[in-house]
Structure formats: structure tokens, C-alpha cells
Amino acid sequence: MSRKKVLIVDADVASRNFIARKLLEQKYDVMQAGSGKEGLIFAWRDHPDLIIVDPVLADVAGEEIAARLKQDPRTQDVPLIALSGDQTHGRIKSCLDAGFNEYITKSGQAVATLNDTISRLFGLTVDEMKQGGLSIIFISAKGGTGTSSMCANLAMNIAHYQPEANVAVLDLVLPIGSIAPIVGYEGGQNIVTITDMPPAKTTPDFFHRELPQMGVWQFNLLAGSPDPESSNQLKVGRIWDVVTALKASYDYVLIDIGRSLSKITLPLIQHADLVTLIVSTDVSTISLTKTLWDYLKGKGVPPNSLFTILNRAVGLEGLSKTDAENQLGIKINMSMPYLGTNFAFANSHHQPFSLKFPKDTASIIFQDTAKEMAILAQKVRLG
């Protein structure tokens, strides 16, 4: 197998040579460019497999380089990594918006993070994505639709439906996780502390042994960021490493991203076995959901992997199931009736709805939906 080619574009000779040496140690072929114009020429002429750019360049801004590379058929699919000493939020956002897959700040941990990120980007193949446990994403187009409550309760019912299966829930709602308050988790382990650990320690065996079990919820939880400040410390380049290890440890991995659609979560959605789209009945949410689904379809998310839940979280008002289907242009797989204060009551007591109100019609719907989701996810995996 031929070695992967990596192009480094950096005006700082010392920095460029240092990164090149580290990549050569990892058995990559390395090319170097000292300016933006030179980097563009090398990229279009030599066809690198990955490009690393310090966006602070004298002649062409990194954002413009990314835009031009993404607009050209020769380089539109080449992964781009920004490696920079500029740690400002504005620069990070502008680079990611321009087309960079990742933004890494130059620090003592930069080389380790860069190696992990390159390995993940090179390894992000469909075959590898489909290994291990089934992944089920929970997403919504608007806050307040009950995405996290649905994720937790359906995870519990999947575990109840298949008691021999190991089920894990990963909370990737940013900037503050949503699952821990629902299930009553108060521990210190969360996605931020886990991504801060060395990759060699966060193995499948580690997650099998160390991930806290949520008692009556019957699943293990990797909680989300406890506060906005902590979320700024999240090492996003390690997210897929963590997901891969979780899938190697558990039969089902349910990932709650809420409305946190980003370059971090998009690859997880694109390669999920099932994408659970939570919709509420108000007109504005339906409109936003249609926009979201059109975007996801454009990014290659197959319609057969979509599972749509209409959740009357805000009351009896709003569109009917038929009206929602007509406006969305997709099938509503499950319609959750309005639960009044019961849902909030169960959440406040950190209890699954099906255990708190076992005779409620919604409990039966939860059970049937969990079974249907598990079967569909398996069908999608098998093709």
C-alpha cells in the first residue's frame, strides 16, 4: 500500500520542519510550502491526501486557501487541518466555516492531537464506521423538542427489549450536556475529561470497565460537558476515537447531539446506523426540520437510516402527524402523545417514564418504538 502524502503550508520554517519530522516518523510522505500561493500550487499539482495549514500567512489567508481548495474538483475532498498559534474563537470559527475539518492550536499537546486527528481522518471509512455496536444518533433542528429525554428513555427501553445487550449513551450536546440531569448522574467523568486522557488509556476495555452504569435506566453513560467553560476545553479531534472505542465495547451506542450540528458531529451522523430526528408540532420547528433534513440528505445521509419522532412536548396545539409529514416530505415513524406534566415529573425524579407510569399509553409507545428502532438499525447495518 502506498504511503499517504501530507502537505504542510506554514510560513514559519522552524515550525514547518518540526511538524514534517514528526510526520515522517509516522511514515507519511511530506511536502512543504512556505506561502499560501505555493501551497495551492503544490495541492493542485501533487495531489496530497491531507493538507495542514497555518492560517496566519502573509500572502493568502488560510480561510481563502480552504475555500479555493474546496471549490476545486481536484482538492474538494482532501481533508484540511488548521494548525495555528491563534487561539481566538473568531479565527477558529472562520476557519471551520471556510472548510477546515479540524482546528488545532500550537501547544505542547499539538503533535499528539495532530497525529490522532490525521489517523482519524485517514481512517474515516465506511467499513470501519460500520464495525462494532450499532450507533443511533438523536438530533433536532430546534431546542425544546425533548431530544435528550427521548434519547434516555428509548435507550432504557432498548436495554429492556434486549436484556442481553450492553447499551451506552454518549451526550454530545454543547455547550452543556443534557442527559446527566435527567438520569441523576453527578460524577466527575464526562466527555471533556475523557478526551483529555491519552488515547492509549481510553480503550474499549476502559469504557467497558469504567463507564458508570445508570441503575434503573439500564445503560452506561458518558456524560456531556458540565458547563460552557468546560466545553471550550473539549478536544474535538478525539471524538471519533472515543466513539470507536465505545462501539467496540457496547452493542448499542446512542449519541445525543440535540441541535448541536457541527463539523464535529456531522461525520457521526453521516455514518450512523440510525438517525433519530425529533420534531415538535409547531410550524417554525417543522420548517427548520425540513431545512435540516435537506442539508443532511445533501451530505449523503440515506433516507432509509432516518427515524422520525413527532413529540408533542409543548402541548396539544400544532400540526397533526399528517400535516407534518406533508410539510416535511418524510414519514413520521412514531408520534408521541402529549404527556402533560408527567414527563417533567419523571425527569425530575430521575426515573424512566415507563417505570414511573407503566400503565400510561406512552409507555407502550416507548416500548414499541425502541423495538422498531433496534430492528431498523440492524437492517440498515446489514444493508
How would you write the pLDDT of the chain (383 residues) with one tens digit per residue? 468 899 999 999 999 999 999 999 878 899 999 999 999 999 999 999 999 999 999 999 999 999 999 999 999 889 999 999 988 888 998 999 899 988 998 887 788 788 878 877 776 555 556 679 999 999 999 888 899 999 999 999 999 999 999 999 999 999 999 999 999 999 999 999 999 898 789 999 999 999 999 999 999 999 999 999 998 888 877 888 899 899 999 999 999 999 988 877 888 898 899 999 999 888 888 999 999 999 998 888 899 999 999 998 656 677 888 998 999 999 999 999 888 788 889 989 999 999 999 999 999 999 999 999 999 999 999 87
E strand or H helix that includes residue 291: helix 283-298
- Using only C-alpha atoms, what is the Rg of the chain? 22
Domain 127-382 in the same topology as domain 5-123: yes
Given this model, what pLDDT does residue 118 score? 83
Question: Whole-model pTM above 0.85?
Answer: no
In CATH terms, is domain 127-382 a member of 3.40.50.300?
yes
Identify the DSSP state of 301. -
Superfamily grouping for domain 5-123: Response regulator (3.40.50.2300)
Given this model, what pLDDT does residue 320 score? 86
Given this model, what pLDDT does residue 1 score? 44
Annotated domain spans of the chain = 5-123, 127-382
DSSP secondary structure of 74-125: TTTTS-EEEEES---HHHHHHHHHHT-SEEEE-STTHHHHHHHHHHHHHH--
Which amino acid is present at 282?
Answer: D
CA distances from residue 338 to 127, 176, 282, 335 in whole angstroms, order as listed: 40, 26, 13, 9
Given this model, what pLDDT does residue 115 score? 80
Given this model, what pLDDT does residue 108 score? 79
- Cα gap 101→166, rounded to integer Å: 32
- Cα gap 316→136, rounded to integer Å: 28
